[in-house]
Amino acid sequence: MKAFIRWFFSVFFCKIFYRVNFINKENEEKLEKCIICPNHSNTLEPTWIYAKTKNLAIMAKAELFKHKIWGSILSYFGVFPIRRGQKDIKSMIHAIHIIKENEKQRMLIFPEGERIKKEQSRGIAKVGPAYIAYKCNVPIVPVYITKNAKLFSKVNIIYGKPVYVTEEIAKDKEKLNEFTENLLDTIYNLNTDVSKN
C-alpha cells in the first residue's frame, strides 16, 4: 500500500497537478538518517517529499488527527502529531525515539511550524528540529520549496548541504535560537543560489 501511495503521489501530485523538479536531492539521499527542513506554504508539500523519500516520518499539526479514522490513516503512513503553539514534550520525545530506533530514518519537519500566507515573506523558525537533530546526532537538510505554487505550475524542491547541531549550540539557548534563524536563512537562500546558476 505504501509503495502504491508513493507511486500515486509521484505521478499525480509531482507530474500531473504540479511539475515538481527535485534539485540536488543527493544531499539527502546519501544520508541514512536526517531531518528534512523545508519552508512551508502549500498543503501538498508533504506529498511531494513523501513521493521521492524512503523511510520518511512526518511531523504534522495535531488538528489533523481529530478524526480517528483519518488519524489512523496518517499514522499508518508515518505521520505523527504535534501540538502547535506550546511545548509538546511528548511529541518531541516520540520524534527522537523514531529516529533512534530505526536503522534508516528520515523525518520531515517544517521549522516554521505552519503554512506561511501569501502576504508573508517567511515565518518564525522553531528550535524543535535543531533540538531533535542534536539528541539523535543526525544532520538537518535544509530544503527550499517554491512558494505558493499554483496548480499545474512548476515547483522546484532544492536540497541544501547537511548541517549539524553541535553540543555548544544545543546547550546555549541564545546560540540555539541563532542557529535556528540561520537555518531559515539558509533555506530561503537556496532559491537565490539556484537562480544565480
> What does R_g of the chain's alpha carbons equal in angstroms?
16
Share of the chain above pLDDT 70, in %: 97
pLDDT in tens, 2-45: 999 999 999 999 999 999 999 999 999 999 999 999 999 999 99
Which residue is associated with the grid cell 531533535?
A: 132
Indicate the pairing of strand 105-108 with strand 154-159. Answer: unpaired
Average pLDDT over residues 57-75: 95
* Cell triple for 16: 500531473
Share of the chain above pLDDT 90, in %: 89
Average pLDDT over residues 142-159: 97
Q: Give the pLDDT confidence score for residue 194 in this predicted structure.
A: 65
pTM of the shown model: 0.94
Q: Does the structure show a pLDDT above 70 at 195? A: no
In whole angstroms, what is the distance from residue 91 CA to residue 97 CA? 10
Q: Say whether 99 sits in a helix, a strand or coil.
A: helix
CATH number of 2-196: 3.40.1130.10
Average pLDDT over residues 45-55: 97
pLDDT in tens, 67-84: 999 999 999 999 999 987
In whole angstroms, what is the distance from residue 92 CA to residue 98 CA? 10
